[in-house]
Amino acid sequence: MAQSLRMTAMRWEGWGDPARAISLPPQLRALLDNALGVRPTGRPAGPLDAIELPPPAFDPSGLRTIVGEPNVRTGSVLPAGHEEVLDVLRWCAQRRVAVVPFGGGTSVVGGLAPVRAGFAGVVALDLARLDRLVALDPVSRTATLQAGVRAPAAEELLAAQGFTLGHFPQSFEYASIGGFAATRSSGQYSARYGRFDELVVGLRVATPQGSVGLGRAPRSGAGPDLRQLFLGSEGTLGVITEVTARVHPAPAGYTHAGWRFASFPDGMGALRRLAQDGPLPAMVRLADEYETALTAPGIDGCLAVVAFEASPVPAVEAVLRAAGGTPLGAEPGEAWARGRFQAPYLRDALLDAGALAETVETATFWSGLPALYDAVRACLMDNLGTPPLVLCHVSHVYPTGASLYFTVVCAQSGDPVSQWRQAKQAVNAAILAAGGTISHHHGVGTDHAAGLAEEVGPLMVDALRAVKRRLDPAGILNPGILLGTTVGP
């Protein structure tokens, strides 16, 4: 993972480090050209400095007093710690300036695109200066990290003392600790280490109404677990400034192996065995026939990639074998590991080539998983207006169910934003009808706000709004995110 620890600034109009941009593999290129009819659109993004922003509609000089002159930039404020975050929030609340907490900027659901109407302006509250490992408790195996620590830096800080968070989502190279908590992030090795919301034992949060500190014990019977209100709150209820999370002794390394299953249901059965009766490896993910054909040509059926701390565990292999799996050796697994953070670069290359490339993810219980798969796949096949490529894999497993991650690629129509919006709306309806959740780990942002209300019901969205009104009466925190546009001052 050494290479991924080098941090660079993110491209403004795409993912990651321009030096690591990739070209489309020739077979994919041919598929786009021939089967999907993808053609260049001639709509490049253009350089950032060609965009002129209007001056802010509020006088930011007060913010300079709080965080210091160099830490107020065009539309961006960089506080040094919890107390400065509190001061900035109070200042903004008094002036009706909306605040977007900014960690890694990796949201794919419009989590950083707030409603502006009704506000004097919007500032990005950039948490980059909250970059310290505050404490490590090797006895309890917990670490307290400031929210702005980027994931690669967190791993470096912990590795120096022999520990790891073990949290490696696809956004790993840019994502931040606070963002992991605020979005209930899932890492690729969640089978071993748990989701990030399961790793969190304590939170420090700054709200316009004051500070919150939660988490005095691993588990408590003292009322509802209030940490859970902020996990998944996506910056709308407060700004998470510190996270205390479980850590694990860092393993010497990981090994990855490929396994073949004759069909997607066969593979699902094997994953269910591992999730229900164990032992679970660090990761087990299963591609459907379509994703296998494209990403691992030559494997007839479905590829499962299994990750282990250190070396393969014979008891896991025995379960896979008993469930009909055939071992394919290390290479298909290591190939996955080499490309594990590359999908966003591939997406950009697809967009550059004129393709529409999007993802949809959901989860449900094991008994409903096949029907959910069929419903979402059928919906994606039918609702894009051009013939699409639809790929899917099971990305995370639990004793009672699992998640499905779909990738769709097709030719862009003349209005690709509407093209995707229409398909996504149909997919969301299909997910809800099939009993799935509107998002397993991408979050709500603006894209899923309507779906959230359908999933939990308007009464519970209102209950969350009631919490927001208490903690953020002026409604300045990430307006329009999560709770939709009807919340406001």
Q: Which of residues 189-208 bind a copy of itself (CB under 8 A)?
A: 195, 197, 201, 207
Distance CA 41, CA 343 (A): 21
Is 150 a binding residue for a copy of itself by CB under 8 A? The answer is no
- Asked if residue 456 binds a copy of itself (CB under 8 A), the reply is yes
Site residues (CB under 8 A) for a copy of itself, limited to 403-442: 403, 435-442
Among 406, 402, 380, which residue's Cα sits nearest to residue 393?
Answer: 406
CB half-sphere exposure, 268, CA atoms < 13 A? 22
Taking CB under 8 A as the criterion, the residue among 365, 374, 387, 433 binding a copy of itself is: 365
Six-digit token pair at 357? 């490339």
Q: Minimum distance from CB of 315 to a copy of itself (Å)?
A: 12
Smallest separation (angstroms) from a copy of itself to the CB of 395: 11
8 A C-beta contact, residue 92 and residue 476: yes
**Residue count at the site for a copy of itself (CB under 8 A)?**
82
Binding residues among 376-405 for a copy of itself as defined by CB under 8 A: 396, 398-403
Pattern 101-140, binding to a copy of itself, x per CB under 8 A? Answer: ------------------------------------x-xx
* Selection from 254, 239, 273 nearest residue 126 by Cα: 239
**Range in contact with a copy of itself (rule: CB under 8 A) among 43-51, 68-76, 120-128, 357-365:** 357-365
Phi and psi, residue 428, nearest 5° = -60, -45
Residue 395 host element (H or E): strand 389-397
Residue of the chain from 284, 302, 444, 477 that contacts a copy of itself (CB under 8 A): 444
Q: Does 144 bind a copy of itself (CB under 8 A)?
A: no
Contact between 469 and a copy of itself (CB under 8 A)?
yes
Whole-Å CA distances, 264 to 279, 297, 361: 21, 16, 17
Report the nearest approach of a copy of itself to the CB of residue 361 (Å): 8
User: What are the CA-CA distances from residue 442 to residues 180, 400, 423, 475 (Å)?
Assistant: 11, 20, 17, 24
Residues 303-332 that bind a copy of itself (CB under 8 A): none
d(CA 282, CA 11) in angstroms, rounded, equals 31
Pick 416 or 443: Cβ nearer a copy of itself: 443
Q: Which is nearer to a copy of itself, 114 or 443 (CB)?
A: 443
Least distance in angstroms from the C-beta of 247 to a copy of itself: 9
CB of 69 to a copy of itself, least distance (A): 32
CA atoms of 177 and 287, how far apart (whole Å): 29
| Among 366, 373, 405, 420, interactor with a copy of itself by CB under 8 A | 366
* DSSP one-letter code for 452: H
Q: Which of 106, 171, 183, 446 binds a copy of itself (CB under 8 A)?
A: 183
Binding string, 203-242, against a copy of itself, x = CB under 8 A? ----x-xxxxxx-xxxxxxxxxxx-xxxxxxx--------
Q: In what order do the strands lie in the sheet with 254-261?
A: 326-329, 254-261, 302-309, 283-287, 389-397, 401-411, 355-365
CB neighbours (10 Å) of residue 223? 6
- Answer yes or no whether residue 470 interacts with a copy of itself by CB under 8 A: yes
